[in-house]
Chains A and B, each alone.
Chain A
Amino acid sequence: MASGIVSYGVYIPRYRIRVDEIARVWGDGDEISESLRVFEKSVPDLDEDAVTIAVEAARNALQRCGANPDRIGAIYVGSESHPYAVKPTGTIVGEAICTSSDFTAADFEFACKAGTAAVQACLGLVSSKLIDLGLAIGADVSQGAPGDMLEYTAAAGGAAYLIGREDLAAEIEAFYSFTTDTPDFWRREGMPYPEHGGRFTGEPAYFKHVVSAAKGLMKKIGTTPDDYDYAVFHQPNGKFPVRVAKMLGFSTKQIEAGLVVPMIGNTYSASCLIGLAATLDVAKPGDRIFVTSFGSGAGSDAFSITVKEKIDEIRCAAPSVRDYIGDAEYLDYAMYAKHKGKLKV
């Protein structure tokens, strides 16, 4: 029996900072935003974290399809900014969305692809009929050290996907993963900000893994880029997903709908899941979507998805990605620093 997406919901904090404002503080000049193809990024409010963002996204997913939360048999939350080192995010989400206690939960971490790893875990349990519905979430309030290149893109946001077998809004036909031990980006225990290998994060990390996973999936199921109406790739900046699409033979038109990073920055575990949500916001029944995530460390999960009739019924029952993008309030660097806890008193 087919499995896939029963519903989806996103959440993006209202606050934004313009990349030019960050560049003003560090004296990097106006060309940074153009070179990254990222112009503003989302910033969490003072009391927002990966948990509150995950809860908002999960509530939107449930609201969109009207499913009874008690049907959820598993909650997996992928993040690299879980507020607790020990103490699950998933349990707080479960309590907040009023599930019964009859579910399993765990927190995932795989840099920016923990969210798609959660989707895969849910697909396994759902497809094998061990559970009815699974809730897979990617949510982050990602960290970028002051003055580091990451600070220009590290943003906040979340996406939740209800995975099931019935009433599918979109079927996930197949997935393929490509994983190696590649230390391109990491954050050690107790450290406030991640470190990265500069240009090493490009060719041997992002491009190698995204290309390998994408090609691996298309080979596995015998498809080509022409078979898809839309494609979504992990969006650490505005350049990489555009370049990798071109390398794989996807057109700019195919990735346009899901390319949200120029307006909200890199939402890490939520990045390509928000891109997929933005695509589901506009896709028609029958459309095919190709999705490939990337997590540093490193690995990529590629998915082949077909949109079902149900999408038209549920789409408008919760805020769209564009609704969140359009609702923006801008901060200067000082307020941004306060919001992100960069000011220590």
Chain B
Amino acid sequence: MRSVSIIGIACTKFGERWDVSLRDMIAEAGVMAIEDAKITGDQIEALFVGNMSGGRFVEQEHIGALIADCAGLSRLHIPSTRVEAACASGGLALRQGVLAVASGYHDIVIAAGVEKMTDVSSGTAADALASAADREWECFFGATFPALYAMMAKLHMRRFGTTHDQMAQVAVKNHHHASFNPVAQYHMEVTIEDVDKSPMVADPLHVLDCSPISDGAAAVVLVPTETAKRFADTPIRIVASAQASDTLALHDRRDLTTLDATVHAARQAFAQAKIEPRQVDVAEVHDCFTIAEILAIEDLGFVEKGQGGPATEEGMTALGSLLPINTSGGLKACGHPVGATGIKQAYEIALQLRGEAGRRQVDEAEIGLTHNVGGSGGTALVHILSR
């Protein structure tokens, strides 16, 4: 297998993009990534795009052919594949791109992600997202994603003494980080009091504990590491790409306070990269809800199980500390266009490792990690990137 590197990255503005369509956004991200990689469209050999539910959100399926067409590449007749793993669709597209290059099948591949979520009512969006849970055994009985994560939060609070203030601190931190990120959906800071006072969604999760509904797209260009220097001054190596699955329904899990898919993907990824969690300088983790970031930093091995709350409260995961988590603002404040999130995470880490993250730059970042989760943990992807 060949080593794979990222030579081009792009991310559109995330948010309520009422002035553009899904195809506008994916074309924008694709063109910016190609320009960043200093390649031409004719050099692209394959496309992979993560998209969770174009069918529900914009009544458009067959996104693979669509993006090749929008990018002006239809005349090349290259393979273009849409992949789906709910909110982990972007991470899955990245992994498919990595495998395509690593295997030697292709030399220049684009991995992208896109979601256009604000063209439908919030009720329709919530129902489309609920299709990432077990429709027959969870949704039909009234569960929504906030409700499922609220159950995880409740048990975590009971078992480990985690407090809502500790969860709220995730939102406070990520909104602060997002205030430095030009592509983030939100640039406003929030306080623990703001989170507490925001309307309750599913006890103990308030509105400001939840990631928003967003539009956005992101893309990265992948090549074999052996040729990467020809294209980029600072190519970013993908030193690990791991994926794991688990039961779709939360109630079938071994433990409600651990995402085993994350644990297994992380274990594989650290073995591939031959590093320890403590060697990671910066990470983008899947904070679809504030409790999810606390679970993530535990399951990835950054802190002991049960210590995610206190670690967050003590500021260990904030910019300027030992392990800055979600410098982009995370799903919480950068926004969560579900299919794009996994690629945006790779964009953010590549930006950090290149030293181009501006006011949110992590000093001397050498190794970064991305963690993308589908549903309540039925799928998890972990990628480790290195300068």
Residue positions of A touching B, CB distance < 8 A: 29, 31, 197-200, 203-204
Residues of B near A203 (CB, < 8 A) are 16, 18
B43 at interface, CB cutoff 8 A: no
B206-253 residues with Cβ-Cβ distance < 8 A to A are: none
Interface string of B110-141 (1 = CB under 8 A from A): 00000000100110000000000000000000
Interface string of B82-125 (1 = CB under 8 A from A): 00000000000000000000000000000000000010011000
Residue positions of B touching A, CB distance < 8 A: 16, 18-19, 118, 121-122, 199
Question: Could you say which of B19, B121, B122, B199 contacts A204, with CB atoms under 8 Å apart?
Answer: B19
Bound CA span A200–B16, Å: 9
Dominant SS among interface residues on chain A: helix
CB distance from A313 to the nearest CB of B (A): 49
Residues of A near B16 (CB, < 8 A) are 199-200, 203
Residues of B near A200 (CB, < 8 A) are 16, 18, 118
CB distance from B98 to the nearest CB of A (A): 37
Residues of A near B19 (CB, < 8 A) are 204
Q: Which residue of B lies closest to A32 (CB)?
A: B199
Bound CA span A89–B20, Å: 40
CB distance from B118 to the nearest CB of A (A): 8
Bound CA span A200–B122, Å: 11
Bound CA span A29–B16, Å: 27
Task: State the 3 A-B residue pairs at the shortest beta-carbon distance, nearest first.
Answer: A204-B18, A198-B122, A200-B18
* Given A29-B199, A203-B18, A204-B18, 7 new contacts (CB under 8 A): A197-B121, A198-B122, A199-B16, A199-B118, A200-B16, A203-B16, A204-B19
Residues of A near B122 (CB, < 8 A) are 198
CB distance from A27 to the nearest CB of B (A): 12
Dominant SS among interface residues on chain B: loop
CB distance from A205 to the nearest CB of B (A): 9
CB distance from B203 to the nearest CB of A (A): 15
Residues of A near B121 (CB, < 8 A) are 197-198
CB distance from B116 to the nearest CB of A (A): 13
Q: What are 8 A-B pairs with beta-carbon distances under 8 A? A: A197-B121, A198-B121, A199-B16, A199-B118, A200-B18, A200-B118, A203-B16, A204-B18
Bound CA span A204–B122, Å: 17
CB distance from B32 to the nearest CB of A (A): 24
Q: Which residue of B lies closest to A31 (CB)?
A: B199
Q: Which residue of B lies closest to A35 (CB)?
A: B199
Bound CA span A199–B121, Å: 9
Bound CA span A219–B182, Å: 30
Residues of B near A29 (CB, < 8 A) are 199
CB distance from B129 to the nearest CB of A (A): 16
Q: Which residue of A lies closest to B121 (CB)?
A: A198
Residues of A near B199 (CB, < 8 A) are 29, 31
Q: Which residue of A lies closest to B122 (CB)?
A: A198
CB distance from B15 to the nearest CB of A (A): 10
CB distance from B57 to the nearest CB of A (A): 14
Residues of B near A199 (CB, < 8 A) are 16, 118
Residues of A near B118 (CB, < 8 A) are 199-200
Q: Which residue of A lies closest to B18 (CB)?
A: A204
Bound CA span A198–B122, Å: 8
Bound CA span A199–B15, Å: 12
CB distance from A319 to the nearest CB of B (A): 40
CB distance from B19 to the nearest CB of A (A): 7
Bound CA span A187–B122, Å: 19
Residues of B near A198 (CB, < 8 A) are 121-122
Bound CA span A207–B128, Å: 29
Bound CA span A29–B207, Å: 15
CB distance from A156 to the nearest CB of B (A): 27
CB distance from A147 to the nearest CB of B (A): 13
Bound CA span A198–B123, Å: 11
Bound CA span A274–B285, Å: 52
Bound CA span A36–B19, Å: 26
Bound CA span A29–B206, Å: 15
Bound CA span A200–B121, Å: 10
CB distance from A203 to the nearest CB of B (A): 7
CB distance from B76 to the nearest CB of A (A): 36
Q: Which residue of B lies closest to A205 (CB)?
A: B18
Q: Which residue of B lies closest to A197 (CB)?
A: B121
CB distance from A186 to the nearest CB of B (A): 14
Q: Which residue of A lies closest to B198 (CB)?
A: A31
CB distance from A239 to the nearest CB of B (A): 16
Residues of B near A31 (CB, < 8 A) are 199
Bound CA span A29–B198, Å: 12
Bound CA span A31–B199, Å: 9
Residues of A near B18 (CB, < 8 A) are 200, 203-204
CB distance from A231 to the nearest CB of B (A): 26
Bound CA span A198–B120, Å: 10
Q: Which residue of A lies closest to B213 (CB)?
A: A199
Q: Which residue of B lies closest to A28 (CB)?
A: B199
Q: Which residue of B lies closest to A199 (CB)?
A: B16
Q: Which residue of B lies closest to A29 (CB)?
A: B199
CB distance from B17 to the nearest CB of A (A): 10
Bound CA span A204–B199, Å: 25
Bound CA span A36–B166, Å: 30
Bound CA span A59–B122, Å: 45
Q: Which residue of A lies closest to B197 (CB)?
A: A31
CB distance from B210 to the nearest CB of A (A): 15
Bound CA span A254–B199, Å: 33
Q: Which residue of B lies closest to A200 (CB)?
A: B18
Residues of B near A204 (CB, < 8 A) are 18-19
Bound CA span A179–B183, Å: 30
CB distance from B377 to the nearest CB of A (A): 30
CB distance from B3 to the nearest CB of A (A): 45
CB distance from A238 to the nearest CB of B (A): 19
Bound CA span A276–B118, Å: 35
CB distance from B206 to the nearest CB of A (A): 12
Bound CA span A203–B17, Å: 11
